[in-house]
Amino acid sequence: MIKCENKCGKLKSCQHHTCDVICHPRECEPCDELIKQKCYSHESEREVLCSVETGGTQVFSCGEPCGKLLSCGHHRCPKSCHNGPCLDCLLLPQNCKTCACGKTNMDSQQRTSCLDPLPTCEKSCEKFLSCGPIDNHHQCSIKCHNGPCPPCTKESILQCRCGQSKKSASCIEVIQYDPIKNPFCCERRCNKKKLCGKHR
Ligand SMILES: [Zn+2]
Ligand SMILES: [Zn+2]
Ligand SMILES: [Zn+2]
Ligand SMILES: [Zn+2]
Ligand SMILES: [Zn+2]
Ligand SMILES: [Zn+2]
Ligand SMILES: [Zn+2]
Ligand SMILES: [Zn+2]
């Protein structure tokens, strides 16, 4: 093996940066450059380690709803942070040919704007709610309706973040908790430290 005093200069596995280690045997080290990326629809920024996938892109999807005002001027984009233009408002008369629950086709609608309420049918709404078991969310039980679904009347399991205690509570109570922002804590003292890492 002949070694020289020059930099290796080979393209690293990230395909974006060249190796600046002095002439070395074996494979080049993986790239350790940090790439700054901005999300598509918001001002969020992140830094990621350079790799084949991330090296050439300065954008990413932060996963939050896009939220830009749609061309209708009334509704905001519900898609998660995305590339390219937002879709047309799905509630515009030309884009919506069903009742409010979406189960019944209603071709001849009297609506003139996306703000007009949708026609309703005789079936039950059955939209999935945020409560209930993760793999079997509760469904809205009232008849086809406009607007957001009313609070669930069933019960869910509240699990303490210590994982050791559970209780059954009304879904209305359960949905006030959020595993990250507002976790449910049982009355008994958990041994887990609080988010700050200093207190119990
Ligand atoms: Zn790189
Ligand atoms: Zn190298
Ligand atoms: Zn975003
Ligand atoms: Zn609209
Ligand atoms: Zn959008
Ligand atoms: Zn319906
Ligand atoms: Zn529920
Ligand atoms: Zn509903």
CA of residue 62 to ligand 2 center, whole Å: 34
What pLDDT is stored for residue 181 in this prediction? 81
CA of residue 194 to ligand 6 center, whole Å: 46
Structure tokens at 27: 């494979």
Q: Which value does ipTM take for this structure?
A: 0.69
The stretch 83-103 carries a mean pLDDT of 92
The stretch 148-175 carries a mean pLDDT of 87
Task: With cut-offs at 50, 70 and 90, classify the pLDDT of residue 187.
Answer: low
CA of residue 179 to ligand 1 center, whole Å: 36
Distance CA 152, CA 145 (A): 15
3-state secondary structure the chain: CCCCCCECCCECCCCCCECCCECCCCCCCCCCCEEEEEECCCCCEEEEECCCCCCCCCEECCCCECCCECCCCCCECCCECCCCCCCCCCCCHHHCCECCCCCCECCCCCCCCCCCCCCCCCCECCCECCCCCCCCCCECCCECCCCCCCCCCCEEEEECCCCCCEEEEEHHHHCCCECCCECCCCCCCCCCCCCCCCCC
CA of residue 154 to ligand 6 center, whole Å: 22
Per residue in 98-123, pLDDT tens?
999 999 998 777 899 999 999 999 99
CA of residue 118 to ligand 5 center, whole Å: 23
Task: With cut-offs at 50, 70 and 90, classify the pLDDT of residue 193.
Answer: low
CA of residue 5 to ligand 1 center, whole Å: 22
CA of residue 29 to ligand 2 center, whole Å: 7
Task: With cut-offs at 50, 70 and 90, classify the pLDDT of residue 192.
Answer: low
CA of residue 21 to ligand 2 center, whole Å: 6
The ligand placed nearest to the CA atom of residue 39 is 3
The ligand placed nearest to the CA atom of residue 20 is 2
